[in-house]
Structure 1
Amino acid sequence: MRAFPGIAPSVGHREQPSRCGGAPPGTFTAMCPNSTSTACRWDGSPRDTRPRRPLRVAATSPSRLLRTGQSGRCRACGNPIDFYQRTDQRPIALHPAELAAALVPVSCRWHLSCGIAHPHGDGSAWCRIPHAVLCPARIPTLRLTSHVEEMRRRLGVRSRRLIDSGDFAPAAPPPPEPNASSARPARPVVQLLLGRCLADRPIEDIRCVAQTRHRRRCPLPVLAPGTPKGIWKLLPAGPQRGQLTLPTGPMAVYDLSRLPYGEQLRWRTQHCPAHAAAPNAADLALAGWQVFDPLLHAAHIRTRLPHAPGDQA
């Protein structure tokens, strides 16, 4: 045994061979190889392998959308945007970066609180601004400051670069749907929870927005087999909730008002039956509903009931 200066070996002390980190207790070897076990670090200490915990949203959270599902790109200009829910549960696209509140018009100032976008400032020196104000593909409808105009020009240059490099192509407007056609509507009007909403796709193609255990969007449809279905009806296209008075006329509506409240709420949150029963299920995308307005969505009004297979319950 090697003796160090100033340290005397204790009586009866015997040098023990080192124990390899991967060997069971009580087993000793004369030499450990340089490559240790995967369960140990380079010095032989045990490696702490903790299981990955999935992201969850609290049951009391006003917004159940995960941060990974809020980012996207504008279909008109290709610039990045962030989606948030407003106080009326309608989505809004905001610019990803914060701006100085003094450089933004008062009517364009927004702030975030608990994942909800509020249409006014919160008293701080910074605020968020809607992307519709900065989008270079849109014509501004209000007077902007010089700083906001400069940001619009920068986003316009970035859009031109994306188009020239082939990384972005502006979305073409969809052709108007024929009113007399009896095929299933591409964007049907659905009546639920004492109101009417415009869907972003056919009824059978509406997909669950919840996140699965593999951190992907659920592939199951909202119109699941074995669940109660709605009925296509011809209802008057009159004003609702303070809308302007329009000539009353029949329009095809997918009526869900006869279903229980829980089923209507499941359709409104756009969940499949399995994720509707899970209280901790988080959303990976925004629901594709829009509040139906007869003036803004006149192109999607159908005057005949669809007769395609599967449309009539």
Structure 2
Amino acid sequence: MCSMPASAGRHWDGSSRITRHHRPVQIAGNSPSRLLRAGQSGRCRQCGNRIDLYQRADQRPIALHPAELATTHVPESCRWHLSSGIAFPHGDGSPWCRIPHVVLCPRRTPLCRPGPRLEAIRRQLAIHTRRLTDTGAFTPSPPPTSSEATDIDTDSPSRPVVQMLLCRYLAEQAVEHIRCVAQTRHRHRCAQPVLTPTNPAGAWRLLPTGPHRAQLTLRDALMAVYDLGHLPYSEQLRWRAQCCPQHAATAYAADLAVAEWQPFDPLLHAAHIRTRPPQPPARQLRGR
């Protein structure tokens, strides 16, 4: 018995030899969002349930519940819809909508009056949080400690206030540790920092707090702000997009993470207000 020779296009068992090459993913130049949807699902730090991260029209991030809900079950003030990867805070005329996770999070106070359907979802998420906690798969984030509250007295703020584009933002980490959010050719997040020695940097300044809702308590207070307002407009846009100079110059570079800026609020972020700018490192004396 002689075996039949395998054809050039197939293996010995008859399976195809054709290998499909993955097409590179690029962001269109006219796209309003540079954020790739792949890998943008996360877990709520408060309850451990799954969330989907999106960008708003002002590039601020928002966590939405991963499932769509009927608009009849969601109050009008809590309805969101997606268009071209951007989340908008209103309905789009369809019978379905998305809802922010903070409305359903069992460890937070709902922003609107939930109906029976939303209350049922909150109970389901609470049960899931309890199961994750009992099995050790999730540990709720601890409340701010006294050491975090006194971070304003240290010389290296872990979460500085940054001013750019005539707005103030609270950073998630120190200025020198802010990392680029763009995707590399190897489909990993870029490891380069936003602050580079070859580009002009900001300056620490003592500026008025300028509160909108706390004028009675913080009217005359001064705070240390990492000011980028003197930089060119293109540099401030690069910082706002949280990109290194190389990826900021690439129009089709996609983002693998959401920019981590939070709009600064003097009341909500009072623990991170510091009244003295960090001191530069002392120069070493020659001959010692």
Q: 1:4 matched to which residue of 2?
A: none
1:67 and 1:308 map into 2 onto residues whose CA distance is 40
Name the amino acid aligned to 2:197. P
Residue 79 in structure 1 maps to residue 49 in structure 2: yes
Deviation of the 1:178 alpha carbon: 1.7
Give the SS at the match of 1:305. coil
Residue 200 in structure 1 maps to residue 175 in structure 2: no
Deviation of the 1:119 alpha carbon: 1.1
Q: 1:97 matched to which residue of 2?
A: 67
Q: 1:53 matched to which residue of 2?
A: 23
Q: What do the CA deviations read for 1:224-281 (whole angstroms, capped 9, x no partner)? A: 2211111111111113xx6553412211011111111111111110001111111110
Residue 135 in structure 1 maps to residue 136 in structure 2: no
1:248 and 1:179 map into 2 onto residues whose CA distance is 21
2:203 and 2:149 map into 1 onto residues whose CA distance is 21
Name the amino acid aligned to 1:248. D
Alignment of structure 1 residues 261-272 onto 2, 5 Å: 261-272=233-244
Give the SS at the match of 1:83. strand
Alignment of structure 1 residues 220-239 onto 2, 5 Å: 220-239=192-211
Alignment of structure 1 residues 1-313 onto 2, 5 Å: 40-42=10-12, 47-175=17-145, 176-178=148-150, 181-239=153-211, 245=215, 246-307=218-279, 309=281
Deviation of the 1:303 alpha carbon: 0.1
Q: What do the CA deviations read for 1:49-90 (whole angstroms, capped 9, x no partner)? A: 443222111111111100124211100010000011112221
Residues 209 and 220 in structure 2, CA contact (< 8 A), matched pair in contact too: yes
1:44 and 1:84 map into 2 onto residues whose CA distance is 45
User: Between Structure 1 and Structure 2, how many residues are aligned?
Assistant: 277
Residues 152 and 272 in structure 2, CA contact (< 8 A), matched pair in contact too: no
Give the SS at the match of 1:178. helix
Change (3 A) 1:166 1:180: closer
Task: Answer with 141-150 or 129-138: which moved more.
Answer: 141-150
Residues 81 and 87 in structure 2, CA contact (< 8 A), matched pair in contact too: yes
More helix by share: 2
1:157 and 1:220 map into 2 onto residues whose CA distance is 41
1:185 and 1:156 map into 2 onto residues whose CA distance is 35
TM-score, normalised relative to structure 1: 0.82
Change (3 A) 1:281 1:250: same
Q: Which runs of 5+ in 1 are unaligned?
A: 1-30
